[in-house]
Chains A and B, each alone.
Chain A
Amino acid sequence: MAFEDLTGRFQMALRRLTGKSKLTEKDIDEMMREVRLSLLEADVNYKVVKEFTEDVKKLAYGEKILKGLKPGEQVVKIVNDELTKLMGEEAVELALKHDGLSVILMVGLQGAGKTTTAGKLANLIRKKHNKKPMLIAADVYRPAAIEQLQTVGQQLNIEVYEEGLIEPDTIVKNGLAYAKDKGYDLVIVDTAGRLHIDDSMMDEIKRIEKLAKPDEVLLTVDAMTGQDAVNVADTFNQALHITGCILTKLDGDTRGGAALSIRKITGVPIKFSGTGEKLEDIEVFHPERMASRILGMGDILSLVEKATEEIDEDEALSMMEKMMTGKFNYNDLLKQMKMIKRMGKFSGIMKMMPGMKNLGNMDKIDDKQLEYIEAIVGSMTEEERKKPELVNRSSSRRNRIANGSGRSYSEINKLVQMLEKQQTMMRRMQGMNPSSLESMAKGNFEPKQSRSERRNKMKKKGGFRF
């Protein structure tokens, strides 16, 4: 598993192509083989992958690609664009009523995250749409399911309607009447996890759907789901009027190919992502980011957004700008580490950054290590911090820094390598994903150099070749 992501795979495939200015059909086939494996490793359904790669091949064989000056870039772009298209429209809103009582029904397999997400959604919609939410506890099977929902309700200060372990239909019916009576305008119904092939449980949920007449029926799916996602989504979608999906546990390191399979097979939009166990860990789903996550290109846009949300905006913007221009120095590295530390979750943020998993021990950085890095950078002169080449070139400088910081020589070397890798990754990203560059530019942080300038620089440094 040396080349876990597409960036790595393409690099290998392209290495064999140096010197050529145009790609042949054979080259495209070879690249598509890599795309195929990458998608399968991301858990995209086998049949979906097959169709997808065939479609993309057809597009790529066309003149468009062979005439192009940078054919490799175009293949990547086609793959990414097609994937994004497949993933569907950006940020599909919930279809809630303006006046009167809106009802959301949560459905899905066991352990997918329905109960947790019911709480998260209630909280989110209360904030965003100014609704007055109530939760109904209609899972009478899982031990302590009601207590779980009650605890969630308490944490959010949201009322939970329950009647103990009686027929779920009755609970839902009474609960809705109660909500109307009390002037609530949003009800989220938590239901038991059920297998899509369990007929009596599927009948039960159909009955509940019928009597609750929900505005939204949301299928909650674990992002780690493998090939079976297709069966599950398809069967639920046929039994019920699924209006949207929620992909949970995206804070993990799964590539989440199930998202693509579900989209392709059911056409149902994915509306939200669950990104943690805490009740605020929910986000509107971004198809484009998901596409690059599945492809393994990292999710630089998510990083930017997260950074700008939680961190001083200017700081984050200038950071991104620097990263994108490849002028990333030790001051920036230190700032970046602190930024990430402030966000409180190295791993979560890190995995969104392109190529991060290739950075070796990067995710193992804890407070102590940050302290060491601070010490090392602290022992550099201001000039060295701004011009990393100085440190690269001179072992006497590195010796001095080691002595000054009290860290070992090999630690200094490690840091040097880390910065270099980071710079290379960023440059590679630039070449890899023109569309995300464009959208970044739209977001008002135009890189200082022109594209061609950057590309030239990249060539010199032996970065990603196209």
Chain B
Amino acid sequence: MGLFKKLFTSKEKRKKAEKYKIGMMKTRNNSLSSLKDLLRNSKKIDEELYGQLEEIFIMADVGVDTVVEFIEELRVEVEKENITDPKELENMIVDKMFELYLKGEVINTNIRYNEGDLTVILFVGVNGTGKTTTIGKLAHKIKSEGKSVMMAAGDTFRAGAINQLKVFGERVGCEVVAKEAGSDPSSVIFDAIKKAKEDKIDVLLIDTAGRLQNKKNLMNELGKVNRIIERETGSNVYETYLVIDATTGQNGLSQAKIFSEVANITGVVLTKLDGTAKGGIVLAIRNKLNIPISFVGLGEKITDLEYFDIEDYIYGLFSDFFE
């Protein structure tokens, strides 16, 4: 019996997953959700079926390498277990996806709070993925969990970036530490940490300018930001979230790889999952680089952020299985 099905026999779990399902439901007629139909309609497990499986996964932007690897493993398992009925592949695929993500580990995506002291969370990523919006959403979440929050406007470059963050600050009801546009991001961050400590704030969320990972000088700037935070907080135990847009293709892997070189990425925030893109590249990111997904963005409102849950995610991808 599939581990996945077992997990989903729990009513509560299914209810919790509804939100994901809604977020991803609009595309159920294409991509991964067609898996069920495919398996139902196939007579035997052959090259054609493997080809179609490959298509489903590639269409969800799971990295090409990872897909090839995945299908290969599937082949081996099918042979080992002597499976001939395509329908029996259902559980096997879902279970294997689980394995691919979990890798036998227990993944805790909760924020690691620096209990009794200031917790710093840094947001990085390429341009336009949703860093600033996610800060608004996460601030709202953390505040509703009873903690005090502050924001730092570390994007001093993009037109309107500071005002954008200030609007979120107002919506959430928290202070935003900012300097005028064009000032050194490190100095804003320095000030913000100081202020947050003075005010005994629990969590400081730091916004940074979007930067493409191949821009050496901008990546170096991020390195500098990191050093300031480490120095000022006296620890390197803080969260750094890489924000990735679900519509991103293979480049997502390069983003994760290169951002990891200058920052200790502790988790991915996968945004815009309310669209039709599946964000499968995060599976490749986990597979190749071991970086887990921490949150998913499901809309533009400050309430549209959920803790990532692999079960829910796969449920969203395969929701047809459970109707």
* A residues neighboring B (CB under 8 Å): 1, 37, 40-43, 45-46, 109-113, 115-116, 141-145, 147-152, 155, 195-197, 222, 224-229, 231-232, 249, 251-255, 257-258, 277, 345-348, 351, 363-364, 366
Contacts and interface: CB of A to CB of B under 8 A. Distances in A.
Given A109-B275, A227-B61, A143 B164 contact: yes
B159 A151 contact: yes
Interface string B26-47: 1100100000000000000000
B158 A277 contact: yes
Contact of B212 (A112, A152, A155, A249): A249
Given A46-B55, A364-B216, A111 B248 contact: no
B127 interface: yes
A145 B164 CA distance: 8
B300 A113 contact: no
B250 A41 contact: yes
A253 B275 contact: no
Given A111-B128, A277-B157, A226 B61 contact: yes
B160 A151 contact: yes
14 contacts: A37-B64, A110-B272, A143-B171, A147-B164, A195-B274, A196-B276, A197-B26, A197-B275, A222-B248, A224-B247, A227-B61, A251-B212, A253-B213, A351-B214
Given A197-B26, A346-B216, A363-B214, A226 B160 contact: no
A362 to B, nearest CB: 11
Interface string B54-89: 010011110011000000000000000000000000
B185 interface: no
A141 B300 contact: yes
A347 B215 contact: yes
B167 interface: yes
A211 B171 CA distance: 33
B214 A197 contact: no
A227 B60 contact: yes
Nearest to A119: B159
B150 interface: no
A464 to B, nearest CB: 25
Chain A facing B: main interface SS: loop
A255 B251 CA distance: 8
Contact of A144 (B27, B164, B212): B164
Interface residues of B, number: 49
B168 interface: yes
Contact of B214 (A196, A222, A347): A347
Q: Kindly list the 3 A-B residue pairs having the minimum CB-CB distance in the complex, ordered from nearest.
A: A226-B249, A148-B160, A111-B128
Given A224-B252, A253-B254, 4 more contacts: A110-B300, A222-B128, A253-B214, A277-B158
Given A46-B55, A111-B128, A155-B159, A225 B248 contact: yes
Contact of A226 (B126, B159, B167, B281): B281
Contact of A113 (B128, B130, B168, B278): B128
Contacts of A110: 128, 130, 272, 300
B214 A225 contact: no
Nearest to A224: B251
Contact of B163 (A144, A224, A249, A346): A144
Tell which of A43, A224, A226, A364 has the most Cβ of chain B within 10 Å: A226
A224 B275 contact: no
B129 interface: yes
Nearest to B171: A143
Nearest to B128: A111
B99 to A, nearest CB: 22
Contacts of A46: 55, 58-59
B93 interface: no
Given A224-B248, A252-B212, A148 B64 contact: no
B100 interface: no
B163 A231 contact: no
B251 A254 contact: yes
Contacts of A145: 160
B58 A347 contact: no
A41 B64 contact: yes
Contacts of B181: 151
A226 B65 contact: no
A144 B167 contact: yes
A45 B247 CA distance: 13
Contact of B249 (A141, A148, A149, A258): A258
A93 B201 CA distance: 55
